[in-house]
Amino acid sequence: MVRRFFTERIAATMTENLPPGHPPVNDPKIGVLLLNLGTPEATDYWSVRRYLKEFLSDPRVIETPKWLWWPILNLVILSVRPQKSGHAYAQIWDKETNESPLKVITRNQALSLAQRMNGEGKVVVDFAMRYGEPSTAAKLEAMQKAGCQKILLVPLYPQYSATTTATANDKAFEALGKMRWQPAVRTMPAYFEDPKYIETLAASIKSGMEKLDFEPDLVITSYHGMPVEYLERGDPYHCQCFKTTRLVREHLGWADDKIMVTFQSRFGPTKWLEPYTDVTLGALPGKGVKKVAILAPAFSADCIETLEEISIQARETFLAAGGTDFAYIPCLNDSVEGMDMIENMVRRELSGWL
């Protein structure tokens, strides 16, 4: 209470005794902006096409030279891909809000964190998407106008990659570059080995398995893939994925062969990180592994890659190959435990500002 009193007193002195005609001055605030990948606004062809065009035009995501990639993207991919992706989105779309699960969950994460930070007084919490709406630029502008003189950017990606964390920060820096009065900015680092994250992820696996009516022969941690070429150029994502799973296994006290790493969502003809999730699931029943549980630790919120690609497509692949039992363990999402973890990391990164 004493700290909050002095904080409010200092803020008040900044707005008192202004000279006549001085523009209004907002009380100084601290902003916390959660950043996630993005989503189309609807499942129709044109909505999905707009989203895919922005996403696949990002040079952080597709490093192919523009002169080569542009005709492939615009003349081939954007002609056929939106319809296929739209069908996939339609299968997992939140009918109640008419939004994708990713947007619904990320919004709920921001609302939950805002309630948790309410006791600190001048903290504004919001969320933005790298691709689509709400845009990072719009949210940063709103925060700055609301008086946020310090902003913490929180990319919701446990493992760092230039294709996720870096491009989310890039978009924020691009918006900041157009501001006359820039706020001070911090970026939250990747948290792939954060003890609280490992503890929370391990607990979610244990809890998820306790709800099953079968004992999995194997637990699979399926991470979003990337071209091998990106790893060779120095992206640390691959190593961080393996370290997350190793730390979780050690935390649970499991043997090496109880849990494994795979990579999903490969795109195009180039070689991606292996082993591939779909190929692995198709081969496991032939090796005597008939019961699996799978989760996606690279995602902070359930989305098309988890709810459609894993929970629907991967399930069909495994059962068709002779598997008998398949379970998807959800992301941490806005669960109490997941939000405890996010709050813990945000408060740590705000050290010295609060």
Please enumerate, by residue number, every residue annotated as part of a binding site for Fe(2+): 224, 305
Counting other chains too, the contacts that 278-282 makes at CB distance below 8 Å and 24 or more residues apart are 278/313, 278/314, 278/317, 280/220, 281/220, 281/314, 281/317, 281/318, 281/321, 281/323, 282/317, 282/318, 282/320, 282/321
| Residue 120 CA: distances (Å) to CA of 41, 87, 116, 192 | 34, 44, 9, 27
Residue 21 vs residues 24, 146, 180, 268: alpha-carbon distances, Å: 9, 20, 21, 60
335, 301 contact by CB (below 8 A):
no
Identity of the amino acid at 81? R
CB neighbourhood size of 141 (10 A):
15
- Interatomic CA distance for residues 100 and 94, integer angstroms: 6
Cα–chain center distance at 37: 6
For residues 48 and 45, give the distance between their C-alpha atoms in angstroms, rounded to a whole number.
5
Two structure tokens written together for 320: 């068709």
Helix ranges (DSSP H) in the chain: 2-15, 45-56, 66-72, 78-92, 101-116, 136-145, 167-176, 195-210, 228-232, 237-252, 277-283, 304-307, 315-320, 336-349
Q: Nearest 5 degrees, angle CA 26-CA 30-CA 34? A: 125
Annotated binding site: 224, 305
Main-chain phi, psi angles of 225, to 5 degrees: -85, 175
